[in-house]
Structure 1
Amino acid sequence: MPHRQLDAARTLWYRRSAMHRETILSGRRLWQRARPFPHIVGEGVLAPDVYRDVEEAFRSELSRGLGEAATTSPPTHRFARTVPGYGAHVKALTRETTGALALFVSRAWHDMIAGLWGIEATGDVDAALHHHPVGSGDGWVHNDLNPGWFVDQPKADGVNLSDSALCNYQHGPADPLGSSSLVPRETVRAAALLFYLANDPWSPGDGGETGLYSSLHSPVSRPAAVVPPLNNSLLCFACTPFSCHAFLSNRRSPRNSVILWLHVPRAQAEARHGARSIEPWRIR
């Protein structure tokens, strides 16, 4: 079966105030597709007023400007290039994130993703805003089955976000603060979600899609399927040895997105996929 419809409104609520709740998905539907690997797509995902707030918050962050490195001193709190060879400027979402963008690091959002893929709700999340300037080159085909290091500093709702000030997300393991209470632990990415927002209207030929592939050895220029960067849409998948994907060059407009990953303990990922399937970070 190539795809099936999912009920996207299941138990996901956004608390607007202490006395009022409103569903953010407003009965929207998600679709699960089987090829080239199981993934979920959705359009018109957020209720219009919620999407408007999220887009405005993203644009506000982007208006702070772009940096070429994440290590500027003093911190500028701007988007910056953080991954060698990756064309996007990135701004992390942290435990201090408030306002509309806090939705993406909320317990409800985390639990929705975990529920879609039957993943243990550990609370460990790495999340960031991504901005690909016009003309960003093709990425590389990869599966996101990578390690991630965390220390236990969860928010009140139990979501524990990666924090480069406390621990190097890719490599761990030293505690730069020298505190015995902050012991880094290794996890592995278990699910990924890309939410597209604040983009220009998209047409075929514009580029900026996420390409999906049947193999890590597939040429990046020959995806088996593509997911376009339509505003208020998402792509979600479990991270496995087969979840092969890549960014495709955006020829005409910037591409903006929120990207996040849920994590499980490394031992659990090894039991499911095999230790040799975990992809180490190749660039330090």
Structure 2
Amino acid sequence: MTMPEPRTLQAVNDLQPLLQARRWRWRATPFPHIVAENVFVPDVQEELARDFRTLYDQRTTAGYNTQHDFLGTSLISTQCGSLEVFISPAWYALFTRLFGINEPGFLTAGVHRHRPGSRNGFPHNDIFPERLDVGPGRGDVLRFGGPVAGKSVRAVAILYYLNNGPWAPGDGGETSLYWDWKDGVDTPVDSVPPRDNTLFAFSCNPHSYHSFRTNRKRRDSVISFVYRGVDDYVQLWGDEGLRQYAEYGRHHA
């Protein structure tokens, strides 16, 4: 099976024709984040869901993430149809502008599938230094601006939910938000349900604790990450948070 040509790519440098004219809501608690519903116009929404299914049909060897209990694979430029919007310059520019991220930096994206009954996650902040290599054959990491020396950390996480069908309370699969890594996963401050064509984005910082909640129905999503250099992060936060990803606190308290 061959991925279709991304019909929306002619507009990837200008997102406006793809997005519905609706306001995106900023929320401050428990950390700054955006929730937006009805993100893409209907025909683009349908195209994204179709290409998500096609990609999973092709990638029958999608990797299993044991730490977070999902199946996933990276989006690779020119190989993901309309999903390339999530690794486009316009997507990068939109979220660096919204969250005030300085260039240069990196962008990556992937598709995630939580099968029914996937286990609860745990509150974590998504801060983990890593070295992102960009070179021949690496279509899964896109660099914007000049070179980035040393390691990088996630600066913005963007989740887009699609291909799930109607959602109702009790179906699970929410992304939940917490004050602290020690909070119980079932006692969040707030939650974002995985309704189709909904977007949840937040600035990754020492306090951006979030977690997946167990699901009764399949939950599909596309997740994008904007990265900043570790030096840029340290100027803002010091080294706070660099050691707190996942269960660091539980094992090193």
Higher strand share: 1
Tell me the equivalent position of 1:48.
42
2:236 to 272, 276, 282: 272
Q: Distance in 1 between matches of 2:55 and 2:101?
A: 31
Tell me the equivalent position of 1:117.
99
CA spacing shift, 1:148–1:21, aligned 2, 3 Å: closer
1:108 to 55, 68, 90: 90
How far residue 148 of structure 1 moved from its aligned partner, in angstroms, is 2.7
Q: Distance in 2 between matches of 1:15 and 1:39?
A: 27
Q: Distance in 1 between matches of 2:209 and 2:16?
A: 35
- The AA in structure 2 aligned to 1:58 is F
SS at match of 1:150: coil
CA deviation map 1:63-121 (0-9, x unaligned): 2464xxxxxxxxxxx3221x332210011112343420100000000110111100013
Q: Distance in 1 between matches of 2:103 and 2:28?
A: 24
Unaligned runs of 5+ in 2: 1-7, 248-253
Say yes or no: does 1:228 pair with 2:193. yes
Number of residue-to-residue matches in the alignment: 235
Report the RMSD for the aligned CA atoms in angstroms.
Answer: 2.8
Tell me the equivalent position of 1:178.
none
Paired residues of 1:111 and 1:121 also in contact (CA < 8 A): no
Q: Distance in 1 between matches of 2:93 and 2:52?
A: 23
Tell me the equivalent position of 1:59.
53
Paired residues of 2:124 and 2:245 also in contact (CA < 8 A): no
How far residue 258 of structure 1 moved from its aligned partner, in angstroms, is 0.4
Q: State the TM-score, normalizing by the size of structure 1.
A: 0.75
Paired residues of 1:213 and 1:225 also in contact (CA < 8 A): yes
Q: Distance in 2 between matches of 1:145 and 1:21?
A: 28
Say yes or no: does 1:139 pair with 2:121. yes
Paired residues of 1:195 and 1:257 also in contact (CA < 8 A): yes
Aligned pairs for 1:75-114 within 5 A: 78-81=61-64, 83-114=65-96
Tell me the equivalent position of 1:241.
206
How far residue 159 of structure 1 moved from its aligned partner, in angstroms, is 3.2
Higher helix share: 2
Say yes or no: does 1:27 pair with 2:21. yes
CA spacing shift, 1:17–1:201, aligned 2, 3 Å: closer
SS at match of 1:185: coil
CA spacing shift, 1:212–1:22, aligned 2, 3 Å: closer
Q: Distance in 2 between matches of 1:21 and 1:275?
A: 35
Q: Distance in 1 between matches of 2:208 and 2:240?
A: 16
Q: State the TM-score, normalizing by the size of structure 2.
A: 0.84
CA spacing shift, 1:227–1:281, aligned 2, 3 Å: closer
Using CA pairs under 8 Å that are at least 6 residues apart, name the structure with larger relative contact order, 1 or 2: 2
SS at match of 1:270: helix
Paired residues of 1:16 and 1:22 also in contact (CA < 8 A): no
Q: Distance in 1 between matches of 2:179 and 2:134?
A: 36
Say yes or no: does 1:200 pair with 2:134. no
Tell me the equivalent position of 1:190.
155
Identical amino acids, percent of aligned pairs: 34
1:16 to 10, 18, 22: 10
